[in-house]
C-alpha cells in the first residue's frame, strides 16, 4: 500500500501481524493517524479515522478495493475535509461528528448530537424507529440540546461537560420499541417511569433537570 499514491506518506505497522494493520499519519494535529485493518480470511479492508481529543470516530468504512483504501489514506494524511475524503473514496462514511480544532465545548456538543442523529437514522435494528424518535425529540428540546449527549447500552444520557471527563446530569432516557419509553434516575433504577411516546418521556426528563441548567 506504500506504493504510488502513498509512496511519500509515513506508514507504521505493529510488530505483531504487521500485514494486518497500518496507521497513516495526518498533517492535522487534531486528528489521530488513520487506522487501516485487513481481514484475516477474506479480501476486505476497514479504516477508522478518529479525533485526537477523544478518540471518537469521524469516518469509517469497509471495502474490498485496496485502491480505494489508498485514496482515503492519502486524503486523510493531507488533511482533506471529511466530505472530500468520502468523495475521493466512496466506501468511506462520515459518522456525523466533525472536526473541532479548538475543542470548543458548544461545537463538541453539536458534533456529538449530529453523530447520534446520524447513527439513529442509519441503524438497522427492529427498534430503530423508536430509538430515532427518542433521539430526535430530545434534540428538539433546547434544554437537552445544550447538554452533551452520550449513550450507554443505547440509553440516552446527558453531561454538563464533554469527553473525556463527563459529568452526568439528569435522568436516563431509553426505549424498547414503539410505545415503550422509559425514564430512569440511574442505570440500576428498577422503578423507571413508563411512557408511550418520546415526547412524554422527554418532557418528563426536562422537568427533572436541575433548575440551574435553565429548564
Average pLDDT, stretch 57-85?
Answer: 97
Tell me the C-alpha to C-alpha distance, in Å, between residue 27 and each of 24, 172, 180. 10, 39, 47
- Residue whose cell numbers read 493531507: 78
Long-range contacts of 192-198 (CB under 8 A, 24+ apart): 198/130, 198/133, 198/134, 198/136, 198/137, 198/138
CB-CB contact of 116 with 133 (8 Å): no
Tell me the C-alpha to C-alpha distance, in Å, between residue 4 and each of 9, 64, 70. 10, 18, 9
User: Which residues, other chains included, contact 84 with Cβ-Cβ below 8 Å and sequence gap of 6+?
Assistant: 75
Predicted local confidence at residue 188, as pLDDT: 75
Say yes or no to pLDDT of 10 above 80: no
Is the pLDDT higher at 121 or at 4?
A: 121
Predicted local confidence at residue 33, as pLDDT: 97
pTM exceeding the 0.85 threshold for the entire prediction:
yes
Say yes or no to pLDDT of 215 above 70: no
Predicted local confidence at residue 2, as pLDDT: 44
Predicted local confidence at residue 13, as pLDDT: 86
The H or E element that residue 56 is part of is none
Rounded CA separation 195/193 (Å): 7
Say yes or no to pLDDT of 131 above 90: yes
Q: Where are the domains of the chain?
A: 4-94, 105-213
Say yes or no to pLDDT of 199 above 60: yes
The grid coordinates of residue 125 equal 435494528
Predicted local confidence at residue 119, as pLDDT: 97
- Residue whose cell numbers read 437537552: 144
pLDDT digit string, tens, across residues 41-66: 899 999 999 999 999 999 999 999 99
Average pLDDT, stretch 112-126?
Answer: 96
Amino acid at each position: 500500500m506504500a506504493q504510488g499514491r502513498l509512496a511519500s506518506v509515513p506508514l507504521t505497522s505493529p510488530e505483531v501481524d504487521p500485514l494486518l494493520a497500518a496507521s497513516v499519519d495526518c498533517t492535522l494535529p487534531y486528528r489521530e493517524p488513520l487506522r487501516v485493518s485487513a481481514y484475516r480470511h477474506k479480501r476486505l479492508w476497514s479504516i477508522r479515522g478518529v479525533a485526537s481529543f477523544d478518540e471518537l470516530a469521524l469516518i469509517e468504512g469497509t471495502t474490498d478495493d485496496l485502491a480505494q483504501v489508498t485514496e482515503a489514506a492519502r486524503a486523510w494524511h493531507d488533511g482533506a475535509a471529511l466530505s472530500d475524503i468520502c468523495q475521493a473514496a466512496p466506501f468511506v462514511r462520515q459518522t456525523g461528528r466533525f472536526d473541532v480544532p479548538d475543542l470548543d465545548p458548544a461545537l463538541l456538543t453539536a458534533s456529538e448530537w449530529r453523530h447520534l442523529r446520524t447513527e439513529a437514522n442509519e441503524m438497522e435494528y427492529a427498534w430503530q424507529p423508536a430509538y430515532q424518535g427518542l433521539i430526535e425529540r430530545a434534540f428538539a428540546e433546547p434544554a437537552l440540546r445544550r447538554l452533551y449527549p452520550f449513550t450507554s447500552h443505547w440509553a440516552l444520557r446527558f453531561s454538563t461537560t464533554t469527553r473525556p471527563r463527563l459529568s452526568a446530569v439528569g435522568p436516563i432516557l431509553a426505549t424498547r420499541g414503539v410505545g415503550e419509553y422509559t425514564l430512569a434516575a440511574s442505570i440500576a433504577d428498577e422503578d423507571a417511569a413508563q411512557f408511550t411516546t418520546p415526547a412524554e418521556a422527554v418532557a418528563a426528563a426536562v422537568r427533572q433537570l436541575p433548575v440551574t441548567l435553565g429548564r
